[in-house]
Amino acid sequence: MTDVNMRDLVYRLYARRVRGRLDHAQVPKHIGLILDGNRRWARASGGTTAQGHRAGAEKIEEFLGWCAETDVEVVTLWMLSTDNFDRPESELVPLLGIIEDSVRALAADGRWRVHHVGALDILPDNTRTTLKEAEAATSDNTGILVNVAVGYGGRQEIADAVRSLLHDAARKGTSFEELAEAVDIDLISEHLYTRGQPDPDLVIRTSGEQRLSGFMLWQSAHSEYYFCEVFWPAFRKVDFLRAMRDYAARHRRYGG
């Protein structure tokens, strides 16, 4: 047996051991994922930025398969932030194409329900159309609900929720005084991109960065966080299982 085969065998045995210790009663129902490190992975591998983004996109289906094995119900994938639109066009245009390919692949898989979260109006026509078509094509699927966060920013989401709330009030003829009395946490939640969904129980960020960068600011108030040193394209099943094990070992305390 070669060294490579031996390492592969040891890895599989270790992953099986970690999975065997998971308590399925403690599995998060909603996982938020910040897919970070594509560019740094590409540099470390001697590849191009586009190759890094492509490798990151190819990892998504694998990750969703792991989630399905452990009974996760909702996954939110942060694929493109509002801040990413400041990147050079030479990087942004290929990245948008990769995202469109990835969304089409998710829809073609036949298992997932795709839902876009983000500001549609800032996206190019092709990207907007791809997201809408994927949502329509997968609306009757019964598998994991996959929130594709493209053109997403946490502060932008809250601003959009308030704007939507005000538009609704105007249509109904609600006075400012009545609206001021009615506004509460639940009302704002009803106007978020993820309205009707459970808040994320666990937020995973790859690449070693230990910050949220505005990801699901409203919804993650009581989330547990897991920061992984591995760049996203190199994220392995054992890394996922470690995150799940770490989550299961914690005692969640809401509000203190």
Partners of residue 147 on adjacent β-strands? 76, 115
State what percent of residues in the chain have pLDDT above 70. Answer: 88
Contacts of 252-255 spanning 24+ positions with Cβ under 8 A: 252/201, 252/222, 252/224, 254/222, 255/222
The number of residues in the chain equals: 256
- pLDDT of the residue at 26: 85
Q: Give CA torsion, residues 96, 101, 104, 106, to 10 deg.
A: -100
pLDDT, tens digit (0-9, with 9 covering 90-100), for 144-154: 999 999 999 99
- pLDDT of the residue at 189: 98
The strands making up 145-152's β-sheet, listed across from edge to edge, are 113-117, 145-152, 74-81, 30-34, 202-205, 224-227
**Token pair 């509460």: residue:** 184
Please state the domain extents for the chain. 3-249
Catalytically annotated residues? 36, 84
pLDDT, tens digit (0-9, with 9 covering 90-100), for 121-139: 999 999 999 999 999 999 9
**Confidence band for 2, pLDDT divided at 50, 70 and 90:** low
Closest CA to 79 of 104, 99, 107: 99
Domain 3-249: top CATH class: alpha beta
pLDDT, tens digit (0-9, with 9 covering 90-100), for 187-244: 999 999 999 999 999 999 999 999 999 999 999 999 999 999 999 999 999 999 999 9
Position with higher pLDDT, 65 vs 24: 65
Both tokens of residue 107? 């829809």
Report pTM.
0.90
Q: Do 216 and 200 contact (CB within 8 A), yes or no? A: yes
**Confidence band for 16, pLDDT divided at 50, 70 and 90:** low
On average, the pLDDT of the chain sits at 92
Query: H/E element holding 238?
Result: helix 237-249
Q: Distance (Å, rounded) from C-alpha 116 to C-alpha 135?
A: 7
CA 161, 163, 169, 175 torsion-angle sign: positive
Q: Distance (Å, rounded) from C-alpha 141 to C-alpha 144?
A: 9
Q: Do 80 and 149 contact (CB within 8 A), yes or no? A: yes
Q: Do 78 and 215 contact (CB within 8 A), yes or no? A: yes
Partners of residue 150 on adjacent β-strands? 80
Q: Is 189 helix (H, G, I), strand (E, B) or coil?
A: helix
Neighbours of 111 (CB within 10 A): 15
Q: Which segments of the chain are extended strands (E)?
A: 30-34, 74-81, 113-117, 145-152, 202-205, 224-227
